[in-house]
Structure 1
Amino acid sequence: MVSAWDTLDDRLRPIVQASTDEYARVRPALESVTAEMEASLRAVFADSPVKPLFIASRTKTVESFRDKASRTLPAEDASEVPTLLFPDPLRNLTDLVGVRVIMTLPHEVDEAANLIKRQRAEFDCRGDREKDIGSIESGTYGYSSRHLILRTIQNETVREFHRLLEPTQKPNGSYLFEVQIRTVLAHAWSEIEHDIRFKAGDPRAWSPYFDRQFIATAAMLETVENEFAELHERYETVTGFWDEDGEGSAPLTPNRIRDIWMTLLPHVNRKAGDDWGWAAELLAAHGLKTTMDLAGLLQADAITRVREALDHRYSPGPDRLLDDLLLWRFGKAHIDLTAEPEDAPVKPRRESLGRRYRQMQLYRAREN
């Protein structure tokens, strides 16, 4: 791959090489700073509910430093010497030390960033940007990544580095470094993209189909991450239904029943309607009055066995399925509590429930 150093104006090479030699001299001390920053960030998460999948760090290689230090701004006149983009790279570059914090889900990226930014005794946040924002605004795709620029505060390891870098200056313990926070899927995508797109060989071998495929995979990545985020949100909601000191104790109003049903059984929504008062009446007849009561009734194993026992000709809607689940659990008591009296002249509901109850009894006898 052709680097910025390879194409650098010969008149600028001595300046860049001198900076590179200086960087090579102090890099071992900078590696200690890198290790210290990684350890500090690990400590931030140690006692926090926000848990990264992993944290990794790196100190920029000498070759990478030289290439970045070789970047220039074009001169207005071709005969003039170009201007170095980073005239003092050892002090201008903020990514010589980099730490990556890899999370599971998109919302955790923001949680991790906010947690790090609150560590004001150790770090001063000097920059915070989301790498995918530009992609969103331009209508394109790219991996999402939160980039923080942090400045250390009175750090002794940094002071040791400064003593080596500038022996005549008083070390202040302040140093700028970069923290990238992204999801594991975005991390995998970016690593592959970097290997193929930025570490490619001869640029003449590049095909526009590579860019096209990267855009397509980025779009798929966004879709997958959205699905995982929705799964996590649903999981948090469902587990909350079993919290007897919280959501689990919430009373079963008609709207609450509808919301619980659509969370647990969104595929069973025919004839759901807006009025779930009928469901509240059926449940209340058996003393089922809390969220946890309904969550306990709508269990997958019970639903599967009810479907097998009754062998429904048509997929039942919420009204029929709830009625059958209550009949499965409470048996004849459900009939007596919710159907017409036994001596009623016309009793279609009692007769229907009776037929279904006998089917359930036969099924249980066969299963046993």
Structure 2
Amino acid sequence: MDDHEAVVASSLVQYAELLPRLNAASDAIGDAIRARLRDDGLNHHTVQARVKDPGSVREKLGRLTVAGKPKYGNGIVQLDDLIGVRVIMFLEPDIADVATALKGQFHCREDDDKTSSQRRNGQIGYAGRHLILEVPAENVPVGCQTFVGERFEVQIRTVLQHAWAAFEHDIRYKGGAEANAEVDRAFTMASTLIELADAQFSAINDIVKRRKAESTADFAANPATEITGDILQDMLARLLPEHPRSQARQYGWLGDLLAANSVRTVADAEELFGAADWSAVAKKMDYKFPAGQVRIADDFLLKNWGSEYIARTKSVGNDVKRESKLKYRLERMQD
């Protein structure tokens, strides 16, 4: 057994010992990221967190450079993707907002915007945003207190980009397919179509937002109608056209927040939100990107009712840390 083989073997033994901790860290980091995206009102498809399987670790540690030397000569300490997280978005423009949110939550060691690099260089192929993050020692995300210093990789991409990447990986790597010009051409064509489709999805989203902003909602004719999540989604799309849509289920949760404050009809909500100074809320909160519609609505209600709002809504939903988060946000508004 040569030195490289010995390093790989030793690393795999070490990795087996680390697996229980890595699995726990993966769960905690995944939960923290989901909570952050929910708090910021960022509309996303799914968050997937996983730990690299031992076979993949062995394969990666066995890689050689072009010069024939071990690429990871120091073993698993060089691997930043033992824990991997995928954040799958519906719209490509939202990827940048997610990256900003996560870089504000964790320490960022690397940021590789593959989509921008491809387009700058006139290339077509894999697209997405890759971050290497680390659990920080200060302002530790909820649930990650015992995993300070843990590094992990985050891949942020659209549903279509994810489908392309998963299929390509399955064909080229898992399938063991040899390099083939015909296959390369087909993948290039597919990536071009996916880029066009992502652009069309963003255009469709803009058209829907504009139409809702320009039109008078049907429910306005029945102001006594009780609020529903669908009604709130239409209302905020009209009042906050510059802010991205939140996840559909969050509008129902916003309805529960309003009900806890005796706001139950369309007329009540229209009067309340229609008088809001949204720019003042955004200025006080100093958002790093346009907040999701439900997030800024929640912040407006907090600004409007203060500590009474905290008392009335701290138990609405399943976020056990909501009360402490609201208190922190209220302090920021009062600075």
Q: Is TM > 0.5 for Structure 1 vs Structure 2? A: yes
1:63 and 1:247 map into 2 onto residues whose CA distance is 48
Aligned residue number for residue 97 of structure 1: 83
2:51 equivalent to 1:65: no
Aligned residue number for residue 124 of structure 2: 141
Q: 1:238 to 1:13 in 2, by over 3 A?
A: same
The alpha-carbon deviation at position 246 of structure 1 amounts to 11
- 2:98 aligned to 112, 115, 118, which one? 112
- 1:20 aligned to 9, 12, 22, which one? 12
Aligned residue number for residue 235 of structure 1: 208
Q: 1:65 to 1:116 in 2, by over 3 A?
A: same
Aligned residue number for residue 134 of structure 2: 151
* SS in structure 2 of the partner of residue 106 of structure 1: coil
2:4 and 2:127 map into 1 onto residues whose CA distance is 36
1:247 and 1:37 map into 2 onto residues whose CA distance is 31
Q: Which has the higher contact order (CA 8 A, sep 6+)?
A: 2
Aligned residue number for residue 216 of structure 1: 189
TM-score (norm 2): 0.60
1:159 and 1:49 map into 2 onto residues whose CA distance is 24
The alpha-carbon deviation at position 218 of structure 1 amounts to 0.4
Give CA-to-partner distance per residue, 1:35-79, whole Å, 9 cap, x none.
11001101102233212111101111111111111122354xxxx
> 2:212–2:237: 8 Å Cα contact kept in structure 1?
no
The alpha-carbon deviation at position 24 of structure 1 amounts to 1.6
Count of equivalent residues: 219
Matches within 5 A, 1:247-326: none
Q: 1:243 to 1:106 in 2, by over 3 A?
A: farther
1:243 and 1:115 map into 2 onto residues whose CA distance is 33
Aligned residue number for residue 296 of structure 2: none
Q: 1:95 to 1:138 in 2, by over 3 A?
A: same
> 1:128–1:146: 8 Å Cα contact kept in structure 2?
yes
The alpha-carbon deviation at position 145 of structure 1 amounts to 0.7
1:187 and 1:150 map into 2 onto residues whose CA distance is 20
* SS in structure 1 of the partner of residue 126 of structure 2: coil
Runs of 4+ in 1 over 4 A off after TM superposition: 155-161, 243-249
Q: Which runs of 5+ in 2 are unaligned?
A: 218-234, 240-335
The alpha-carbon deviation at position 237 of structure 1 amounts to 1.2
* SS in structure 1 of the partner of residue 44 of structure 2: coil
> 1:54–1:103: 8 Å Cα contact kept in structure 2?
yes
> 1:33–1:157: 8 Å Cα contact kept in structure 2?
no
Give CA-to-partner distance per residue, 1:127-183, whole Å, 9 cap, x none.
22211233223322113211111110236987767xxxxxxxxxxx21221111110
2:52 and 2:150 map into 1 onto residues whose CA distance is 15
Give CA-to-partner distance per residue, 1:319-357, whole Å, 9 cap, x none.
xxxxxxxxxxxxxxxxxxxxxxxxxxxxxxxxxxxxxxx
Q: 1:36 to 1:213 in 2, by over 3 A?
A: same
1:159 and 1:238 map into 2 onto residues whose CA distance is 46
1:246 and 1:177 map into 2 onto residues whose CA distance is 36
